[in-house]
């Protein structure tokens, strides 16, 4: 294990599966603690594996960082440039075969997860990639 220099820097831990994991900073930990349990679990996992940073780099390069499921659908919508809550909800229904109620729940969770990772935000009714985050909330 090695600690990255700097106060509050994450602890980098090597995994037996080849995925490098990073401990959360105190700021990230506080953010995760304030989220609903199901969302917090996914955010923690995505943060510790560095997925949000990887996804941002891939999306900025015009590539979809996800290979299946809700993240794939959300990222394709972001790459299309015209994503809205409604278009994403409909995409979840069509592509993931969700009922309207399930798609609404998945939409809420997905928006919360991507916002917590400072990857995407809703601005003026459009869902947009956060290209240059200053700092995680």
Range of the domain at 107: 27-129
Q: How many domains is the chain built from? A: 1
**pLDDT band, residue 98 (cuts 50/70/90):** very high
Asked if residue 73 belongs to a domain, the reply is: yes
Confidence band of 100 (pLDDT split at 50, 70, 90)? very high
Domain-embedded: residue 121: yes
**99: in domain:** yes
pLDDT digits (tens, 9 = 90+) for 9-59: 444 443 334 556 778 888 888 888 888 999 999 999 999 988 999 999 999
- Give domain status of residue 81, yes or no: yes
Is 112 part of any domain?
yes
Give me the long-range contacts of 122-130 (CB less than 8 A, separation at least 24): 122/85, 125/84, 125/85, 126/82, 126/83, 126/84, 127/74, 127/77, 127/78, 127/83, 127/84, 127/85, 127/88, 128/78, 128/83, 129/56, 129/59, 129/60, 129/78, 130/56
Q: Is residue 106 part of a domain?
A: yes
Confirm whether 6 is domain-assigned. no
5 occurs within a structural domain: no
């Amino acid at each position: 294990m090695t600690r990255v220099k700097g106060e509050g820097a994450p602890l980098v831990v090597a995994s037996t599966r080849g995925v490098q994991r990073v401990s959360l900073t105190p700021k990230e930990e506080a953010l995760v603690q304030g989220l609903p349990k199901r969302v917090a679990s996914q955010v923690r996992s995505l943060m510790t594996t560095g997925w949000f940073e990887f996804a941002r780099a891939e999306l900025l390069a015009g590539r979809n960082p996800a290979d299946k499921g809700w993240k794939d659908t959300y990222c394709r919508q972001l790459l299309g440039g015209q994503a809205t809550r409604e278009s994403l909800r409909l995409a979840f229904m069509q592509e993931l075969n969700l009922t309207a109620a399930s798609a609404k729940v998945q939409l809420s969770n997905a928006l919360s997860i991507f916002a917590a990772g400072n990857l995407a935000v809703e601005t003026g009714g459009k869902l947009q990639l956060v290209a240059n985050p200053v700092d995680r909330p």
